[in-house]
């Protein structure tokens, strides 16, 4: 963990970090000593402290109380447990909200959010910024030299609840932002936003307001720029806190925790990565059939944002959560599989929310490493066992995942795609992207989920399941990858609008017409009660939800609709491009259809995969030099195997030629696996 500051203690954390959020302010100090003892028993090496402690640190405007935190930091240092110290700016104390209500956010309808939840502050509030920076300065001054300090944790899940504020403070800041973006030219702004529509032309900057509630949908270009602005406001808070910490503690790494699903879609994390020393993410297992696919996707996106470097799983649940419609407990072995799935995909730290289950408050039924039932519980026994597992596989720390392909995801396109006034207004980006990622993963490939600004040169296979909005620069990057030899596969309703959500001329998919050798003449939203069959070379599938009217212009059809209104119309196309190829999939296909297309694209790219007897066996490789570590995670109830040789770091067993993984089990093999080229089935 080269991003975790080493301490001078001989028992400072080594290998993979393990721990979670610790909230000692919620407990009588008599409990703290027991907490440290049990943390050591569980193998905890790192805890996050102080996330929601502003009111305890500053109970009144002119009174500060650090003695309790001093004692906690000292206890943890004495116990050999490193601290990821939060700046405590995540939620404002009641006195500040009462003293100046302008610190609170305002929703789209003009209602000020009440104090009493969490993260109620407005990212544009100057009062909040002033008070929060004073708090950070005091934290840095007091604990910058503390032996327990290993990492700074800026705020917490920035924007997780307050990503959009529509109040007067935000309006003021938004006007400043757009003046800078459009070089102080109202004419440029009016052209960019297309304000000739619906008589929306602006005469002065003061007329510009956030996209508050209206009878109809707001101007989509205004909405998109406001989303960019809102993300930038949160990033500015991160930068402001970082500047204080860097000035006082230049050698202590700084991070903040990203959210890859749910509210995390509201932040452009790809523009934040230069402001953190390590990418940290939170992931909570979702509901339904895609729960494990979401886990894999979240981890692959974390690694993609980290440009392949090791990253942190800052928060996950040891058991159930408490905010979803149904919050099921984890089945036997699931805690281990979930945690090691993240390590397999590049995490060098596994941390949970939280250490000790809360007795009160909104999260009192959220699971914890030390549950309400105490140490005599399956959850705590699993927590202790996981700590031992992480020590057993400590050699993997610092190694890097070997990816096979890239999946391109753009946050601005995500926002615009899910905006209103489209041919279908119920489309969700993850409904487009997750199936592609899942199918490729089931083929045995490891996927980096990267922004379009990433270097695509290392990848022979690049997929973009949904890129509705794309700039000329990013479109050129995908084209360059194909010309350089990659197989590029682009999904439906991509390349439709420019970076301001303005439709590109010449038909849909306008940004990619030349690359793909097609023209999308029209879109064809499919009714919920309809579908049509699709057939390619040796495969067939079903299309639902979305389709398009595609005309060939240099490409060849590799799959067509075989019934329905679009019968005979190309659904998947391919065009040779210099050393590579460009594919287009113009409909939302089921798994059989996606597999039919993607297995052929992967085969053309020369992709290889481990030789397995069950696609449900997840196989991911981390490597350091010539040493390879293979994570074999079996989510099924039946045994599965992969061809290879090596030693299991978890139980010490040795394997020759064939490695069997029992149902629900995990192996971490140091050795070699047999890989074979992916071959498309013959017709």
Prediction pTM value: 0.96
What tokens does 431 get?
A: 């409904």
Q: What is the pLDDT of residues 389-425, one digit of tens each?
A: 999 999 999 999 999 999 999 999 999 999 989 999 9
State how far Cα 72 lies from the chain centre. Answer: 32
Spatial neighbors of 135 by CB under 8 A, at least 6 apart, are: 54, 57, 58, 87, 88, 89
654: exposed, middle or buried (Cβ count in 10 Å: 0-12, 13-18, 19+):
exposed
Which pLDDT score is estimated for 10? 38
Are 579 and 484 in contact by the 8 Å Cβ rule? The answer is: yes
Are 109 and 167 in contact by the 8 Å Cβ rule? The answer is: no
Q: Which residues of the chain have pLDDT under 50?
A: 7-13
What tokens does 582 get?
A: 């460009």
Which pLDDT score is estimated for 289? 58
- Residue-by-residue DSSP string for 342-397: HHHTTEEEEEES-SB--SSSTTTTS--SB-TT-SSSHHHHHHHHHHHHHHHTGGGT
Which pLDDT score is estimated for 292? 84
Q: How many helices (H) and strands (E) does the chain have?
A: 16, 30
* 160: Cα within 13 Å, side-chain hemisphere: 18
Strand partners, 82: 46
Query: Do β-strands 82-86 and 46-49 pair in parallel, antiparallel, or remain unpaired?
Result: parallel
DSSP element (H, E) containing 276: none
- Return the beta strands (E) in 174-232 as ranges: none
Secondary structure of residue 41 in the 3-state scheme: helix
Are 645 and 655 in contact by the 8 Å Cβ rule? The answer is: yes
Q: What count of other Cβ atoms lies within 10 Å of the Cβ of residue 212? A: 15
What tokens does 338 get?
A: 């979930």
Which pLDDT score is estimated for 14? 66
Asked whether the bond before 251 is cis by omega within 30 degrees of 0, the reply is: no
- Residue-by-residue DSSP string for 530-543: --EEEEETTEEEEE
- Residue-by-residue DSSP string for 434-478: HHHHHHHHHTT--EEEE-TTS--TT-SEEEES--SB--HHHHHHH
Q: Indicate which residues carry an active-site annotation.
A: 157, 315
């Amino acid at each position: 963990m080269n991003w975790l500051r080493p301490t001078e203690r001989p028992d400072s954390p080594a290998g993979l970090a393990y721990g979670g959020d610790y909230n000692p302010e919620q407990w009588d100090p008599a409990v703290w000593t027991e907490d440290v003892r049990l943390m050591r028993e569980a193998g905890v090496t790192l805890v996050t402290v102080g996330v929601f402690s502003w009111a305890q640190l500053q109970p009144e405007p002119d009174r500060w109380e650090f003695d309790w935190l001093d004692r906690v930091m000292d206890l943890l240092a004495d116990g050999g447990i490193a601290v990821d110290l939060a700046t405590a700016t995540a939620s404002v104390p009641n006195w500040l909200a009462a003293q100046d209500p302008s610190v609170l956010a305002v929703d789209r309808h003009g209602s000020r959010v009440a104090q009493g939840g969490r993260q109620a502050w407005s990212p544009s509030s100057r009062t909040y910024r002033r008070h929060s920076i004073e708090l950070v300065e005091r934290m840095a001054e007091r604990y910058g030299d503390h032996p327990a300090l290993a990492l700074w944790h800026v705020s917490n899940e920035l924007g997780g609840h307050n990503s959009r504020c529509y109040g007067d403070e935000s309006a003021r800041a938004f006007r400043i932002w757009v003046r800078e973006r459009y070089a102080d030219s109202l004419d440029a702004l009016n052209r960019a936003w297309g304000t000739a529509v619906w008589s929306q032309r602006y005469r002065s900057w003061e007329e510009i307001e956030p996209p508050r509630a209206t009878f109809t949908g707001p101007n989509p270009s205004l909405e998109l720029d406001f989303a960019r602005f809102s993300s930038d406001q949160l990033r500015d808070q991160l930068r402001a806190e970082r500047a204080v910490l860097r000035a006082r503690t230049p050698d202590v790494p700084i991070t903040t925790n990203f959210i890859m699903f749910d509210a995390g879609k509201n932040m452009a994390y790809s523009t934040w990565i230069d402001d953190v020393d390590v990418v940290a993410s939170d992931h909570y297992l979702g509901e339904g059939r895609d729960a494990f696919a979401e886990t894999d996707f979240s981890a692959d996106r974390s690694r993609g944002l980290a440009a392949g470097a090791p990253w942190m799983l800052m928060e996950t649940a040891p058991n159930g959560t408490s905010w979803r419609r149904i919050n099921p407990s984890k089945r036997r072995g699931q805690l281990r599989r979930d945690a090691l799935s993240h390590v397999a995909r590049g995490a060098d730290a596994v941390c949970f929310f939280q250490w000790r289950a809360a007795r009160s408050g909104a999260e009192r039924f959220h699971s914890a490493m030390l549950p309400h039932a105490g140490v005599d519980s399956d959850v705590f026994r699993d927590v202790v066992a996981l700590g031992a597992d992480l020590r057993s596989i400590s050699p993997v720390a610092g190694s890097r995942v070997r990816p096979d392909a890239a999946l391109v995801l753009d946050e601005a396109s995500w926002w615009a795609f899910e905006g209103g006034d489209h041919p279908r207004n119920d489309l969700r980006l993850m409904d487009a992207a997750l199936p592609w990622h899942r199918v490729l993963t089931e083929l045995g490939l490891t996927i980096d989920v990267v922004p379009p600004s990433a270097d695509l040169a290392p990848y022979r296979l690049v997929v973009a399941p949904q890129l509705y909005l794309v700039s000329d620069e990013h479109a050129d990057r995908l084209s360059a990858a194909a010309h350089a030899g990659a197989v590029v596969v682009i999904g439906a309703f991509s390349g439709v609008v420019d970076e301001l959500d303005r439709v590109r001329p010449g038909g849909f998919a306008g940004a990619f017409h030349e690359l793909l050798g097609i023209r999308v003449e029209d879109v064809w939203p499919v009714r919920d009660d309809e579908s049509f069959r699709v057939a390619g070379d040796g495969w067939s599938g079903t299309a639902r939800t979305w389709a398009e009217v595609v005309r060939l212009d240099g490409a060849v059809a590799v799959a067509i609709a075989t019934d329905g209104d679009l019968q005979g119309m190309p659904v998947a196309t391919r065009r040779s491009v210099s050393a590579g190829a460009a594919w287009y999939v113009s409909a939302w296909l089921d798994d059989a259809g996606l597999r039919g297309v993607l297995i052929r694209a992967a085969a053309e790219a020369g992709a290889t995969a481990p030789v397995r007897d069950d696609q449900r066996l997840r196989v991911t490789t981390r490597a350091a030099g010539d040493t390879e570590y293979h994570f074999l995670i079996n989510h099924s109830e039946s045994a599965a195997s992969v061809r290879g040789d090596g030693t299991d770091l978890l139980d010490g067993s040795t394997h020759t030629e064939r490695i069997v993984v029992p149902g629900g089990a995990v192996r971490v093999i140091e050795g070699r696996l047999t890989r074979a080229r992916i071959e498309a089935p013959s017709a």
